Structure 1
Amino acid sequence: MTQGTHETEAEKASASGRWIEFDILLAGLTIALALWGFVELVEVARDTAPHAFDTQILLAFREAGHPDNPIGSARLEGAVRDITALGSTSVLVLVTAAAVVYLLLAGRRATALFVFAAVAGGQVLASLAKLEVDRPRPELVSHLVTETSLSFPSGHAMLSAVTYLTLGTLAARFVRGRATKIYLLSLAVLVTLMVGISRVYLGVHWPSDVLAGWCAGFAWAMLCWLAARLLQRRRTVDEGE
């Protein structure tokens, strides 16, 4: 092997290292921004009276002067109920279990553990946050589905973000082609957004509940990804020594 080849490989390794450093820095910054947003929304949730943007957006999904009637047809209401089910505990457990079992059968035990820990950890954090903030469900409009738990943050929005973003990011790693990667990540984001919006349409969450769920879910998913990336990097360094 010539000296020029050695230099080329060294340059590639150096460039790869710089990209990983930038990747990690960007992830850290986005986590910090998401957590800042969540903290700000906690203050909104703890106010005695609902904020104007909460009431305005919630009422925008109802017929003017009729807070019990959602906008759109009965078919739209049924479709929204179906969409919100994508963020239910039952569906998310099923999706997570299917992914974990597949990864175990494929011999990717560490990745299976990562997925389980990310989703289970998100569930624990969502439950703790609800108990800490103790915000009741909105009574401004009628609820189109029955909910008994506390309102802040939206568990559907948070756990959808954790589950679908984690699985979308993971799936994007195992496929080739930039367009396919973008499609998988975009699909994960789209499902997460649709589930969150459905909660406001159904009247069971204030918009700030959903925004907080997105912020917390995104931050947790990114934190898990960052931890996995750092562990992977450390393992690579250890193997190279």
Structure 2
Amino acid sequence: MLIGLSAVAGLLAAFLILTGEMLEGDTLVFDRTVLLALRSAADPNQPAGPWWVERMARDLTALGSVTVLSLASLAAFGGFALMRRWAAAALLLLSAGGGLAMSSALKHLIGRARPDLVPHGDVVLTASFPSGHAMLSAVVGLTLGALVAQSVGDRRLKLYIMAVAVLLSLMIGASRVYLGVHWPTDVLAGWSVGAAWAALCWMLVEALRRRGAACG
């Protein structure tokens, strides 16, 4: 529990530092440099690399959409309910639902404008900070990864499952910057607060489960 709380505190501190630096304009040079580094040197309006890299980025970014993550969460919730794994179902509902609400609230509160250096490679309807795709993919991916890893006994398999969850979240977040719809610090902030929320929800449900077991 102490290690978990320390991790949550560190992730939240990173998010608050990023937010403060961004609001003061201190991240602008970094954001612009990274964003332009991912564009063609001959034509900044075009993403760097061959045409299929942009296609892959669009496919990856779709995996972090509210629609896809909601469907995945609902499907997993139904599976846990059928198995009568109520703690897992509650954790998933709390983590995904709370993450979505938090993402919307933070975007509305901070209200950062989307990047204007390059054309957007995807439709955008909300504010930029933090990245909802990065945040929610971290929340849902880490929660589901931890729940699945918990059900297997092989430690190597546990590590593999969590590594896949983390890698997928990283790829989804990176695709948002590559497509020019987010500043890099939007994505870093999304990863930080998303991972912190997933860990906090996990610790809360685990504490309640242990307390119930002790009382029983």
Does TM, scored on the shorter chain, surpass 0.5? yes
Q: 2:76 aligns with which of 99, 115, 134?
A: 99
CA contact (8 A) 1:45 1:152 kept: no
What secondary structure sits across from 1:63 in the alignment? coil
The residue type paired with residue 214 of structure 1 is: W
Give the corresponding residue for 1:78. 55
CA distance in 1, matches of 2:206, 2:90: 14
Give the corresponding residue for 2:133. 156
CA distance in 1, matches of 2:178, 2:42: 16
Residues 1:96 and 1:72: Cα distance change in structure 2 (over 3 Å): same
CA distance in 2, matches of 1:144, 1:63: 14
Equivalences for residues 205-216 of structure 1 within 5 A: 205-216=182-193
User: Deviation per CA, 1:140-179, whole angstroms, max 9, x where unpaired?
Assistant: 1211112121000000000000000000000000012011
Question: Given the alignment of the two structures, is residue 53 of structure 1 paired with residue 30 of structure 2, yes or no?
Answer: yes
The residue type paired with residue 27 of structure 1 is: G
CA contact (8 A) 1:67 1:142 kept: no
CA distance in 1, matches of 2:107, 2:188: 14
Equivalences for residues 159-174 of structure 1 within 5 A: 159-174=136-151
Give the corresponding residue for 2:211. 234
What secondary structure sits across from 2:46 in the alignment? strand
Q: 2:103 aligns with which of 119, 123, 126?
A: 126
> How many Å apart are 1:236 and its aligned residue?
2.5
CA distance in 2, matches of 1:113, 1:28: 20
What secondary structure sits across from 2:45 in the alignment? strand
> How many Å apart are 1:50 and its aligned residue?
5.2
> How many Å apart are 1:49 and its aligned residue?
7.2
Residues 1:180 and 1:49: Cα distance change in structure 2 (over 3 Å): closer
The residue type paired with residue 87 of structure 1 is: G
Aligned-residue RMSD, C-alpha? 1.2
Question: Given the alignment of the two structures, is residue 177 of structure 1 paired with residue 148 of structure 2, yes or no?
Answer: no
CA contact (8 A) 1:100 1:112 kept: yes
The residue type paired with residue 102 of structure 1 is: G
Most deviating of 64-73 and 118-127: 64-73
Give the corresponding residue for 1:43. 20
> How many Å apart are 1:48 and its aligned residue?
4.7
Percentage of matched positions with identical amino acids: 44
CA distance in 2, matches of 1:48, 1:197: 22
What secondary structure sits across from 1:150 in the alignment? coil
CA contact (8 A) 2:131 2:190 kept: yes
Q: Across the two proteins, how many residue pairs are aligned to each other?
A: 216
Give the corresponding residue for 1:8. none
CA distance in 1, matches of 2:127, 2:13: 22
Give the corresponding residue for 2:87. 110
> How many Å apart are 1:231 and its aligned residue?
1.1
CA distance in 1, matches of 2:81, 2:215: 25
TM-score by length of 1: 0.87
> How many Å apart are 1:237 and its aligned residue?
2.2
CA distance in 2, matches of 1:212, 1:106: 35
Q: Please list every run of 5 or more consecutive structure 1 residues that lacks an aligned counterpart in the other structure.
A: 1-23
